[in-house]
């Protein structure tokens, strides 16, 4: 592809191998039409969407066993779409979303090379209300609290798009911003349950990485399988 290079990976998720197209490394950058520049994505951050991150793998593993029956599901900041691919394989009602100019292209390619139907995709800016998106029973996100300002933006997105009894699942590698998000969701009536998780093979207890489950008025059911 002009302007940047890619690599093909095989990632095992939920006991199944998925073929994933990713960027070759973190040095890749191409914005010939200034699309990323106009939406505030710098060259230093441009390539982050195109990597297989530990937090994404943790969420995708969780989605391989999580209860999805009858639920409308939204993935925020889908990047390469690992969790959405797992959910599509399970025939879930999944909508993937991101705001990177190339996220939809990579998601479509990864679905195709894994012999799946196209995954519903929405370009979603957290700070801009989308009145057509609707509400969801399960909202997931992997390492979406990357910057301190993301907590309030993400909480506002949850307020707009979560059903009254929705569950919110977030993987957090320990960047220190989840406390602000938890406080913001508490105002909406959400309680949190956390499960410490190994994000890398070299992680040692107590793990910094966590899978955070938010539900209104009650704790999570403790049936997360990682």
| Assessment of whether the complete model's pTM goes beyond 0.85 | yes
pLDDT band at 225; cut points 50, 70, 90:
very low
Mean pLDDT of the chain: 92
Distance between CA atoms of 76 and 99, rounded to whole angstroms? 9
Q: Which of 162, 178, 180, 161 is nearest to 170 (CA)?
A: 178
pLDDT for the residue 222: 42
C-alpha 56: how far from its chain's center? 7
pLDDT for the residue 177: 87
How many residues make up the chain in this entry? 226
Q: Which of 76-90, 190-204, 208-222 has the lowest mean pLDDT?
A: 208-222
Instruction: Taking residues 113-120, report their average pLDDT.
Output: 97
> Are β-strands 72-76 and 16-23 bridged in parallel, bridged antiparallel, or unpaired?
unpaired
> Are β-strands 136-142 and 93-98 bridged in parallel, bridged antiparallel, or unpaired?
unpaired
Instruction: Taking residues 53-74, report their average pLDDT.
Output: 96
Joined tokens for residue 111: 């679905």
pLDDT tens, 63-73?
A: 999 999 999 99
Joined tokens for residue 155: 């909480």
Top-confidence range, 34-48, 102-116, 146-160: 102-116
pLDDT tens, 9-27?
A: 999 999 999 999 999 999 9
pLDDT tens, 162-206?
A: 999 999 999 998 888 899 999 999 999 999 999 888 787 777 777
């Amino acid at each position: 592809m002009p302007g940047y290079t890619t690599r093909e990976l095989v990632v095992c998720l939920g006991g199944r191998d998925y073929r994933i197209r990713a960027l070759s490394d973190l040095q890749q950058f191409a914005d010939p039409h200034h699309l990323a520049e106009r939406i505030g994505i710098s060259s230093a951050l441009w390539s982050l969407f195109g990597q297989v991150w530990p937090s994404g793998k943790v969420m995708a593993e969780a989605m391989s066993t999580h209860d999805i029956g009858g639920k409308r599901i939204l993935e925020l900041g889908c990047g390469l779409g690992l969790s959405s691919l797992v959910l599509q394989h399970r025939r879930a009602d999944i909508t993937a979303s991101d705001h990177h100019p190339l996220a939809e292209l990579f998601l479509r390619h990864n679905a195709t090379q894994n012999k799946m139907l196209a995954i519903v995709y929405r370009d979603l800016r957290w700070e801009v209300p989308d009145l057509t998106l609707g509400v969801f029973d399960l909202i997931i996100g992997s390492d979406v609290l990357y910057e301190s300002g993301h907590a309030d933006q993400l909480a506002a997105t949850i307020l707009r798009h979560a059903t009254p009894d929705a569950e919110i699942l977030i993987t957090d590698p320990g960047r220190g911003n989840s406390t602000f998000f938890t406080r913001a969701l508490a105002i909406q009536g959400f309680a949190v349950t956390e499960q410490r998780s190994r994000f890398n093979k070299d992680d040692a207890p107590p793990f910094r990485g966590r899978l955070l489950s938010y539900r209104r008025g009650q704790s999570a059911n403790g049936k997360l399988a990682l």
